[in-house]
Amino acid sequence: MKLSRTFSLMTAAGLLAMTASAIGAQAPQATPTTAAPAPAPANAAPNPPVGGAIMDAARPIGMNAAAAPNLTTLVAAARAADLLSTLSGPGPYTVFAPTNEAFGRLAPGNFDNLMKPANKAALAKLLTYHIVPGTITLYDLAERIKDGGGTATLTTVEGEPIAVTNPGGAFLLTDVNGNKSYIETPDVHQSNGIVHVVNGVLVPKLG
């Protein structure tokens, strides 16, 4: 997917600043569980809330995300990139959903620039880098990490990979630029997949 002309004129310093900001994601403050999570039984407990909002497993990703007050930036970006309807489609999808705070750590002006209509293709590229085909639970991630000798490699809808590791029991995502993001709220089940809320924005190769 080619970047728009406007986005390609962003300075290298700006892109580096965006990368450096994404690296600032910190491990969740809560003590992580060291044991691998168990598969969800048929009568699984209700979804965890996201931003204090109830997440209805019978609703699609787009609808639940729109109800979460800490995912408003992601929803606005998905709407601008014409992806919100896709996230309400049949799927299934696994979405690593950055919080508002995660987007706020990007270098000043970079996200606003991506939200311009001329940069719609670049915005879609960034967002689809957070989506993986299929439904991948935290248990599945743990199993893939074990099978991969300590690292699971996920191929995103954007086409580039994300590496997932499990340092100290936390689940760490690393993008192709070396930026890191931790899963904060896992296993938010949806009618068309699953969402894992993360505390950093993952950045694909934009140049």
Residue 204 lies in a domain: no
Residue 206 lies in a domain: no
The answer to whether residue 33 scores a pLDDT higher than 90 is no
46 pLDDT band, cuts 50/70/90, is: confident
Domain hosting residue 164, numbered range: 5-198
Helix (H) or strand (E) holding 174: strand 172-174
CATH code, 95:
2.30.180.10
Pairing of strands 193-198, 180-190: antiparallel
Mean of all residue pLDDT scores within the chain: 84
pLDDT, one tens digit per residue, over 80-111 is: 999 988 888 898 999 999 999 999 998 888 89
What is the domain count for the chain? 1
Contact between 66 and 106 (Cβ < 8 Å): no
The answer to whether residue 38 scores a pLDDT higher than 50 is no
Q: How far apart are CA 141 and CA 143, in angstroms?
A: 5
Residue 205 lies in a domain: no
